[in-house]
Amino acid sequence: MRDGKTIKAAIERQLLQSVETISIVKLVDLFVEFAFVTRSSDIHLEPTRDAVRARFRVDGILKDIFDKVKFSKELHHEIISRIKVLSGLRTDEHFAPQDGRFRVKMEDGQDVDVRVSIMPTYYGENAVMRLLAETRAFSLQDLGFFPNDLLRVENAMKKSYGMILANGPTGSGKTTTLYTILKTLNSPEVEIITIEDPIEYSLDGTTQIQTNTQAGLTFATGLRSILRQDPNIIMVGEIRDQETAGIAVNAALTGHLVLSTLHTNDSATTFPRLIDMGVPPFLVASTINVAMGQRLVRKLCDACKKERTLSPEEIKSMTEALPDAEKYVDGKPQTFFSAVACAACAAGYVGRIGVREVLEVNMEIQQLIMNRASASQIKEAAMRNGMTTMVQDGFLKAMQGITTIEEVLRIIHE
């Protein structure tokens, strides 16, 4: 497998040629290979007035890697056409959004699914390609769960009914978490069916359904049909509306293990959100096994990270910004780590890891849900029962040198 510098040089050589001699097929392949090697999650190809801007999202941060080489506007149409051909999209449609996907096999044999979104803009069509590396590389232990949280998730996975919910904003790794759980549960003895928009990962041994609103296949209608297919485990890409929420909860109540995601800021907000969607509180209380809140933080590079000791004044300032972290310090100087930068990393960071909280529903939480308690009341009860909040989880990872305090502050205040 070639390194990023070699591939970048090959791309730049292509771009410095005349438009007539550039191989568009090779150029698009090089973009995907460069993104894979540099651990980029997304490739953004954005037309401007007189050029094309190419940016790569590395560890959650967009980088203008080819800013010194100007992409000719003449290349834009050819690049977009090539991406459309790979994705099975209409090459003669330029004024409507299109979504597709294609698969690439890397030199090391790993399959990478590339999800494509084409959007018409003022200066032409904008393309975003998201690289979805196979989840076989992940286990639950790799996702950043501390032992107590991992035990709570594993206990919920052992149940044959109920709901496991992953919550957080877009791009916080919810789907990766659920697919890693599905991969662990996947066996010949169980039937797993997923319904998603779009299908994020390909998982052998499961039945995966793509929603299609034009054909009338929504999350709600698809979920009704799935229940007639005799599944043991169901994964719903996202609970967006009252109808989907109601069917998912009833599926969990009638002997199915249901996995899904919600866009909430933390785990405790899950319960008021479902009740606001019209699900009766007693059903919410009796079906949810665990609700997980999560964000992604960049991991420090082990080769160049540097120790730093915070003074009592800095500790006081930090615990005011991160009040949940106060229980782990007593005002004394604390050792943390800071990002430097070296040849092996991107600005001192390599990869990302989850900052998580796992709220396990017990008798006390069930009673609070049925009494329509607020999210803050549910969170306080969960903390009394041993839940580590996302802030505390991030703070502990910073103390262990996995990430920095600055990263924890960044994701908490996003």
Q: How confident is the model at residue 108 (pLDDT cuts 50, 70, 90)?
A: confident
Let me know whether 277 and 319 are in one domain.
yes
- Cβ contact 201:112 at 8 Å: no
What does the pLDDT look like over 3-51, one tens digit per residue?
888 999 999 998 888 888 899 999 999 999 999 999 899 999 999 998 8
Let me know whether 128 and 144 are in one domain.
no
Structure confidence at residue 26 (pLDDT): 93
Q: CATH number, domain at 54?
A: 3.30.450.90
Q: Please state, rounded to an integer, the average pLDDT across all residues of the chain.
A: 91
Let me know whether 83 and 145 are in one domain.
no
Structure confidence at residue 135 (pLDDT): 45
Let me know whether 161 and 84 are in one domain.
no
Q: In this predicted model, which residue has the larger pLDDT, 82 or 346?
A: 82
Domain that residue 8 falls in: 4-132
Residue 136 has pLDDT above 80, yes or no: no
Let me know whether 149 and 285 are in one domain.
yes
Edge to edge, the sheet with strand 192-196 lists 207-210, 192-196, 233-236, 257-262, 162-167, 288-300, 349-360
What does the pLDDT look like over 40-70, one tens digit per residue?
999 999 999 988 999 999 988 899 988 877 7
Please say which residue of 132, 163, 178 terminates a domain. Answer: 132
What does the pLDDT look like over 309-352, one tens digit per residue?
877 777 777 777 777 777 776 655 678 999 998 888 878 999 89
Let me know whether 144 and 60 are in one domain.
no
Let me know whether 150 and 80 are in one domain.
no
Q: CATH number, domain at 274?
A: 3.40.50.300
Structure confidence at residue 347 (pLDDT): 84
Structure confidence at residue 171 (pLDDT): 86
Number of structural domains found in the chain: 2
Please say which residue of 97, 112, 132 terminates a domain. Answer: 132
d(CA 338, CA 207): 45
Residue 283 has pLDDT above 70, yes or no: yes
Residue 274 has pLDDT above 90, yes or no: yes
- Cβ contact 149:166 at 8 Å: no
What mean pLDDT do residues 378-402 have? 93
Residue 403 has pLDDT above 70, yes or no: yes
Please say which residue of 75, 106, 132 terminates a domain. Answer: 132
What does the pLDDT look like over 197-227, one tens digit per residue?
888 888 889 999 999 988 999 999 999 999 9
Q: How confident is the model at residue 288 (pLDDT cuts 50, 70, 90)?
A: very high
Residue 291 has pLDDT above 70, yes or no: yes
Let me know whether 219 and 316 are in one domain.
yes
Structure confidence at residue 237 (pLDDT): 94
Let me know whether 172 and 97 are in one domain.
no
Residue 133 has pLDDT above 70, yes or no: no
Let me know whether 156 and 90 are in one domain.
no
Let me know whether 271 and 315 are in one domain.
yes
Let me know whether 121 and 147 are in one domain.
no
Phi, psi angle pair for 372, to nearest 5°:
55, 45
Structure confidence at residue 201 (pLDDT): 82
